[in-house]
Amino acid sequence: MISFTEENYLKAIYHLIEQEGEAVTTNAIAEKINTKAASVTDMLKKLSDKKLINYQKYQGVTLTPKGEKTALNIIRKQRLWEMFLVEKLDFKWDEVHDAAEQLEHIKSDKLIEQLDKFLNYPKVDPHGDPIPDAKGRLQIQKSHLLSKFKKNDVCIMTGVVDHSPAFLQYLDKSGITLGNEIKIKEIIEFDRSLQIITGRQKTIFISNDVAKNILVIAK
């Protein structure tokens, strides 16, 4: 039986690998999980004993197939619960984090399969992140950063990089929503900030920092 804490470590490792693309360091995990490096080392030994990660002293970690499957299952649960909170309980997309963090650890296969059905088998969560299926398979959607696009390009918003409530609230206020069309009206050379037209035909200005945290697909 895998513990609450072990699950959190696996999820953190999964996300770090996803971001960095290679073996994850002890320090990176410590920072992500808000704990100390020494604690991480202890846990890495345990996860290694359970064959959930590949770990050798000082060499960083990767997930074994078993570890990755476990991580994806937790992410599946997290994203389905987020969907439930937003769709059925009227949470905003910036409010779901804390409750979903707890709900993702509930152990009941029947519960999660029925929840999936109840939500009508959603493919992405309220932030546009893909929901792994029951076998841990991810539908890869190859989104790009809005900051990579050029003047007059038109695209559809599909997700965010930064998931913080502050950023999500800013997007809400600016009328930038999942599924919305975004047209690039102008790019200011000096600071790479953008002038864009949102779905409801309003022109707004966003900084390059913001554009680097918005995921889109070309239209």
Which residues would be at the binding site for DNA (CB under 7 A)?
3-6, 25-28, 35-46, 55, 57-60
Tokens found for residue 142: 């190859």
Work out whether 102 is an interface residue with a second copy (CB under 8 A): yes
Q: Provide the mask over 151-180, with x wherever binding to a second copy is found by CB under 8 A and - wherever it is not.
A: ------------------------------
CB of 83 to a second copy, least distance (A): 14
User: How far, in whole angstroms, is CA 148 from its chain's centroid?
Assistant: 20
Q: Name the one range near a second copy by CB under 8 A: 60-68, 108-116, 156-164, 165-173.
A: 108-116
Amino acid at 37: A
Task: Using alpha carbons, select from 15, 45, 46 the residue that is nearest to residue 31.
Answer: 15
Q: Could you tell me if 214 and 162 are in contact, meaning their C-beta atoms sit under 8 angstroms apart?
A: no
Task: Using alpha carbons, select from 102, 96, 211, 86 the residue that is nearest to residue 164.
Answer: 96
91 binds, among DNA, a second copy, none (CB under 5 to 8 A by kind): a second copy
Work out whether 95 is an interface residue with a second copy (CB under 8 A): yes
Closer residue to a second copy (CB): 106 or 134: 106
- Residue in the structure block whose two tokens are 């039986």: 1
Work out whether 5 is an interface residue with a second copy (CB under 8 A): no
219 CB-near residues (< 8 Å, 6+ apart): 154, 155, 156, 181
Q: Could you tell me if 130 and 164 are in contact, meaning their C-beta atoms sit under 8 angstroms apart?
A: no
Q: Which residues bind a second copy (CB under 8 A)?
A: 85, 88-91, 95, 98-99, 102-103, 106-108, 110-111, 114-115, 118
